[in-house]
C-alpha cells in the first residue's frame, strides 16, 4: 500500500508518500521561517495563507519525486489536529478533495500520533513502548500500547519544553527558531555558572512545568553584563542542562512505572522537535541505559514536523481497516489518549 500524507498543523507545509514496506518515496517540507522570523514566532494567519498557496504545488512535486500518479495511491492522510486550526483546515480540505475525486479512503490523522508512531516507520519498533513527546506545543509521557491505544502518564502543567527554548532564545537575543539557536550557543557555555531551578525534579508524579524556569532565565538574562558573550553562552548552557535534568528525571520515573506495568524494560522513545537536541538525547540515552532500557529516536529530520509520519500513521490505520468520513471536522485540540481505532464512532 502507498499512502500520501499532508502536514499543515503549524508553519511547515509538508507532503510525503510512504508505503507499507516502510519506504519513504517522497518527503518534501517547505519552511516558512523567513515569513515568520520578523515576528519572532509563528503568526497563524500568515501560516494558513502560505499553506493555501503552496500545498497544491507541493503535492504535485511529491508525486513527481516518487514517480507515481494518484492512481497508484491507496489512501490520503492529513493532519486533522491538534494545531493551528487555519492551517489544519487547509490540509484537511485538500486531502478530502483528493480522496473524493479519486474515490480513495480519507484518513484523519492526529498530529501527536504521527510523532508517536514515527519510530515504527524508521526502526520497525514493536509495541509497546514508552513515549516522551517534546515539542514547541507539547510535552508529555505516554505508554504506547498499540495502534489507537495510548495511556497518558503525565503532561506539562504550563509551558512545553520547546516553548521554553523559544522564550530563552528571545531573552538572549537569538534568532528564530529558538531551539537550534540555544543549542548552538550552549555548546560554548558553562552550565554550572548559573543556578537555575529544576521544576518538579524528584516528585513522584510524572508531570512537567517550565514556567518557573523561564522566569528564572528572564531574571538572569536581565542581569547579564551588556555585551558579555560568554555570559550569554553560559546562561544558554545552564538552561539546556536544567531542561535535560527535568526530562531525564521524569523519564526515569516513567520507565520504572512502565516496566512495572508491562514487565518489559522499554524502550524509551523520544519524538517531537525538541528531540533533535543532541544534549537532551544524550541525557535521555544515559537515563534509559541506567534503567536497563535503551533510547530510540527518529532521525532529527523526522523529529520536526513532517508528512512522512502522517502518511505512516494513516497507513497503519488503513491497514487496520480504518477510514474516516469526509465530514470529519478539523480540531485545534485533540488529546492523544482520546484516540481509538474508530475515530468516527
Task: State how far the Cα of 213 lies from the Cα of 239, in Å rounded to an integer.
Answer: 8
Say yes or no: 146 and 276 in one domain.
yes
Residue 344 is predicted with a pLDDT of: 38
Q: Identify whether 122 is part of a domain.
A: no
Residues 263 and 167 in one domain: yes
Full residue range of the structural domain in which residue 175 is found: 127-297
Report the DSSP beta bridge partners of residue 5. 16, 77
Claim to verify: residue 136 and residue 65 sit in the same structural domain = no
At a CB cut-off of 8 Å and minimum separation 6, what does 23 contact? Answer: none
Decide: 66 and 25 in contact? Cβ < 8 Å.
Answer: yes
Instruction: State whether 250 and 329 are in the same domain.
Output: no
Average pLDDT over every residue of 207-234:
97
| Residue 343 belongs to some domain of the structure | no
Mean pLDDT confidence for 125-149: 95
Task: Assess whether 110 and 161 both reside in one domain.
Answer: no
Here the cell at position 22 is 516502510
142 and 260: one domain?
yes
Question: What grid cell was written down for 338?
Answer: 482520546
Whether 178 and 64 share a structural domain: no
Whether residue 143 is found in the same domain as residue 287: yes
Whether 176 maps to a domain, the answer reads yes
* 345 located within any domain: no
pLDDT at 59: 98
Q: Specify if 344 maps to a domain.
A: no
Q: Are residues 278 and 138 in the same domain?
A: yes
Distance CA 35, CA 184 (A): 22
* C-alpha span between 137 and 133 (Å, rounded): 10
The verdict on 101 and 243 lying in the same domain is no
**Helix, strand, or coil here: 336?**
helix
List pLDDT tens digits, range 67-126: 999 999 999 999 999 999 999 999 999 999 999 999 999 999 999 999 999 999 999 999
DSSP string, 236-276: HHHHHHHHHHHHHHHHHHHHHHHHHHHSS---EEEESGGGG
Q: Mean pLDDT, to the nearest integer, of 168-189?
A: 94
CB 30 within 8 A of CB 58: yes
Q: pLDDT > 70: what percent of the chain?
A: 99
| CATH code, domain with 87 | 3.30.420.40
Residue 332 lies in a domain: yes
Residues 162 and 257 grouped into a single domain: yes
Residues 256 and 310 in one domain: no
Asked whether the predicted pLDDT for residue 345 surpasses 50, the reply is: no
CB atoms within 10 A of CB 67: 10
* 10-28 residue pLDDT tens: 999 999 999 999 999 999 9
Alpha helices in the chain (DSSP H): 33-36, 44-66, 85-102, 111-122, 161-171, 178-186, 211-222, 229-262, 278-290, 308-319
Confidence of residue 31 (pLDDT cuts 50, 70, 90): confident
Structural domains in the chain (count): 2
Task: Identify the band that residue 50 occupies on the pLDDT scale cut at 50, 70 and 90.
Answer: very high
Tell me: cis bond preceding 267? Omega within 30 of 0 counts.
Answer: yes
For the chain, what is the total number of helices (H) and then of strands (E)?
Answer: 10, 10
Amino acid at each position: 500500500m502507498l499512502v500520501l500524507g499532508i502536514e499543515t498543523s503549524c508553519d511547515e507545509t509538508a507532503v510525503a508518500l510512504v508505503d507499507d514496506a516502510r519506504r519513504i518515496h517522497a518527503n518534501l517540507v517547505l519552511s516558512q521561517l523567513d515569513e515568520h522570523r520578523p515576528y519572532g514566532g509563528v503568526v497563524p494567519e500568515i501560516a494558513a495563507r502560505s499553506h493555501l498557496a503552496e500545498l497544491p504545488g507541493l503535492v504535485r512535486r511529491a508525486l513527481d519525486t516518487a514517480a507515481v500518479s494518484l492512481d497508484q495511491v491507496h489512501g490520503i492522510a492529513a493532519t486533522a489536529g491538534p494545531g493551528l486550526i487555519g492551517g489544519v483546515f487547509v490540509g484537511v480540505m485538500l486531502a478530502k478533495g483528493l480522496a473524493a475525486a479519486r474515490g480513495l479512503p480519507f484518513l484523519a490523522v492526529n498530529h501527536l500520533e504521527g510523532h508517536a508512531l514515527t519510530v515504527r516507520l524508521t526502526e520497525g519498533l514493536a509495541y509497546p513502548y514508552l513515549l516522551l513527546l517534546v515539542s514547541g506545543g507539547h510535552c508529555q509521557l505516554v505508554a504506547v500500547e498499540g495502534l489507537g491505544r495510548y495511556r497518558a502518564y503525565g503532561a506539562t502543567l504550563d509551558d512545553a519544553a520547546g516553548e521554553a527554548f523559544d522564550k530563552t532564545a528571545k531573552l538572549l537575543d537569538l534568532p528564530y527558531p529558538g531551539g537550534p539557536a540555544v543549542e548552538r550557543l550552549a555548546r560554548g557555555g558553562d552550565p554550572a555558572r548559573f543556578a537555575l531551578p529544576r521544576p518538579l525534579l524528584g516528585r513522584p508524579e510524572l508531570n512537567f512545568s517550565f514556567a518557573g524556569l523561564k522566569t528564572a532565565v528572564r531574571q538572569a538574562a536581565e542581569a547579564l553584563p551588556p555585551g558579555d558573550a560568554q555570559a550569554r553562552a553560559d546562561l544558554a548552557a545552564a538552561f539546556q542542562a536544567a531542561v535535560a535534568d527535568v526530562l531525564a528525571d521524569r523519564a526515569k520515573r516513567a520507565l520504572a512505572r512502565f516496566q512495572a506495568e508491562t514487565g518489559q524494560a522499554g524502550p524509551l522513545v523520544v519524538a517531537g522537535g525538541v528531540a533533535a537536541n543532541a544534549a537532551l538525547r544524550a541525557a535521555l540515552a544515559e537515563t534509559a541505559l541506567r534503567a536497563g532500557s535503551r533510547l530510540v529516536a527518529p532521525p532529527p529530520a523526522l523529529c520536526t514536523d513532517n508528512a512522512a509520519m502522517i502518511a505512516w500513521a494513516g497507513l497503519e490505520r488503513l491497514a487496520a481497516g480504518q477510514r474516516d468520513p469526509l465530514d470529519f471536522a478539523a480540531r485545534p485540540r485533540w488529546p492523544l489518549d482520546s484516540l481509538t481505532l474508530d475515530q468516527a464512532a
